[in-house]
């Protein structure tokens, strides 16, 4: 294992900058917020640690890229920022997300609530679910894993056409695997920063995807015509577990972070680190490091204390976890669905430690 450790001065400059204007901007922040973010360059910090590399296949090793400090983020002429007219994040589900309608509805509500807390201060709205056929995307069977995949680029074009006027961005989510082009094996997600759209798949986050027991394998693609999407009818959907929900929240917020202009983090252990594979993605924390946190705060303008409190409420909240049966729901659908937040408990402890620093 290799530890990527930066000097105190390097981290201080990455966070605060040497630009007098940005230094002054930092000094005008709430002193409690400064106290928390200054943990970035405290060698003995219990809140923010260095990045660890476990193999040559890890992102930083295999995808060399220039690090982005706060000054570079702030000065990026192509960076998009929410405006008073465009302060909404829209989520578009594509295909079923759960094995029943209620599971699909509750799962996307959990993701919506999480995004509302994570991007505190913005509105998160749900678009009406659509079928795969509505997108008119290409699809295939993966030669290696034998599962169905839909074309990410075609989905992005579909989302761009559906983007509401008040949208900062529109993100599509699906339980069907993605591929960006014929030569690629798969992709977890893809986004267009220019258009403010993204598509992300949680198919590989199920507990059995990489096992011989995976039920989503298709032996042969049988298609009567280019308009035939019937193969997606009743296609396999993984069980919504606490780990799958955590991985989904992590991917969704990481990719929306890119739409805000945050590049892959190379400073500290952080949600915005790149990941090449599931094991590396699981090592990546749910939280932003202070440098990336300052970037997001600059873009949105939230109170860090209130944002952390909102995240704790989301983890603890059970008031919206029980579906409200309607006449359209079958008896099978009308079941109690508590939010599976067990996997978030360790992160809650970390947030409470941050709140203790902020509320001294």
- pLDDT tens for each residue of 172-196: 999 999 999 998 988 888 889 899 9
What's the whole-number average pLDDT of the chain? 90
Query: Cα–Cα–Cα angle for 320, 317, 46, nearest 5°?
Result: 150
> Within 10 A of 182 (CB to CB), how many other CB atoms are there?
8
**Rounded mean pLDDT of 80-107?**
94
Q: Of 291, 142, 159, which is closest to residue 221 (Cα–Cα)?
A: 142
Q: Tens of pLDDT along 217-235?
A: 887 777 767 788 999 988 9
Task: Give the phi and the psi of residue 174 in degrees, each rounded to 5.
Answer: -155, 155
Q: Rounded to whole angstroms, what are the CA distances from 304 to 152, 200, 256, 266, 319?
A: 34, 27, 18, 22, 24
Predicted confidence at residue 354, as pLDDT, reads: 98
Q: Per-residue pLDDT for 3 more than 80?
A: yes
Q: Which residues pair with 148 in a beta bridge?
A: 141
Q: Would you give the end-to-end CA distance of the chain in angstroms?
A: 36
Predicted confidence at residue 279, as pLDDT, reads: 85
Q: Per-residue pLDDT for 319 more than 60?
A: no
Q: Tens of pLDDT along 260-275?
A: 999 999 999 999 998 8
Task: Give the phi and the psi of residue 340 in degrees, each rounded to 5.
Answer: -80, 80
Exactly one of 33, 116, 255, 280 is catalytic; which is it?
Answer: 255
Query: What is the length of the chain?
Result: 360
Q: Tens of pLDDT along 272-286?
A: 998 878 888 889 999
Q: What is the 3-state secondary structure (H, E, C) of the chain?
A: CEEECCCHHHHHHHHHCCCHHHHHHHHCCCHHHHHHHHHHHCCCCCCCCCEEECCCCCHHHHCCCCCCCHHHHHHCCCCCCCECCECEEEEEEECCCCCCHHHHHHHHHHHHHHHHHHCCCCEEEECCCECHHHHCCCEEECCCCCEEEEEHHHHHHHHHHHCCCCEEEEEEEECCEEECCCCCCCECEEEECCCCEEEEECHHHCCCCCCCCCCCECCCCCCCCCCCCHHHCCCCCCCCCHHHHHHHHHHHHHHHHHHCCCCCCCCCCCCCCCCCCHHHHHHCCCCCCHHHHHHHHHHHCCCHHHHHHHHHHHHHCCCCCCCCCCCCCCCCCCCCCCCCCHHHHHHHHHHHHHHHHHCC
CB contact at 8 A, 198 and 156: yes
Q: Per-residue pLDDT for 143 more than 90?
A: no
**Rounded mean pLDDT of 237-242?**
92
Q: What is the dihedral of CA 250, 255, 261, 263, to 10 degrees?
A: 70
Q: Per-residue pLDDT for 326 more than 50?
A: no
Is 255 catalytic? The answer is yes
């Amino acid at each position: 294992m290799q530890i990527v450790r930066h000097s105190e001065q390097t981290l201080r400059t990455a966070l605060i900058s040497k630009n007098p204007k940005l230094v002054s901007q930092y000094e005008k922040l709430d002193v409690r917020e400064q106290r928390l973010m200054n943990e970035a360059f405290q060698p003995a910090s219990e809140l923010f640690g260095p990045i660890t590399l476990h193999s040559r296949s890890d992102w930083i090793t295999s995808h060399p890229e220039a690090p982005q400090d706060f000054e570079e983020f702030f000065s990026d002429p192509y960076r998009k920022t929410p405006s008073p007219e465009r302060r909404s994040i829209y989520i578009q589900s594509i295909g079923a997300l759960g094995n029943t309608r209620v599971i699909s509805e509750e799962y996307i509500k959990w993701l919506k609530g999480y995004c509302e807390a994570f991007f505190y201060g913005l509105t998160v709205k749900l678009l009406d679910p659509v079928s795969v056929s509505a997108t008119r995307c290409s699809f295939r069977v993966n030669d290696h894993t034998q599962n169905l995949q839909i074309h990410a680029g075609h989905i992005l074009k579909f989302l761009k056409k559906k983007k509401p006027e008040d949208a900062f961005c529109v993100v599509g989510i699906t339980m069907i695997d993605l591929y960006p082009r014929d030569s690629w094996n798969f992709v977890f997600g893809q986004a267009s920063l220019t258009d403010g759209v993204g598509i992300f798949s949680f198919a590989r986050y199920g507990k059995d995807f990489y096992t011989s027991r995976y039920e989503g394998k298709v032996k042969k693609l049988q298609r009567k015509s280019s308009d035939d999407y019937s193969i997606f009818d009743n296609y396999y959907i993984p069980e919504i577990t606490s780990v799958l929900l955590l991985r989904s929240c992590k991917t969704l917020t990481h990719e929306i972070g890119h739409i805000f202009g945050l590049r892959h983090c190379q400073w500290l252990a952080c949600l915005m680190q790149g990941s090449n594979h599931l094991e590396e993605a699981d090592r990546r924390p749910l939280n932003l490091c202070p440098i990336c946190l300052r970037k997001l705060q600059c873009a949105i303008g939230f109170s860090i204390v209130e944002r952390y409190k909102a995240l704790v409420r989301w983890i603890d909240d059970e008031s919206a976890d029980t579906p409200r049966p309607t006449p359209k729901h079958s008896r099978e659908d009308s079941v109690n669905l508590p939010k599976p937040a067990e996997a978030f408990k360790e992160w809650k402890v970390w947030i409470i430690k941050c709140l203790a620093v902020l509320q001294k």
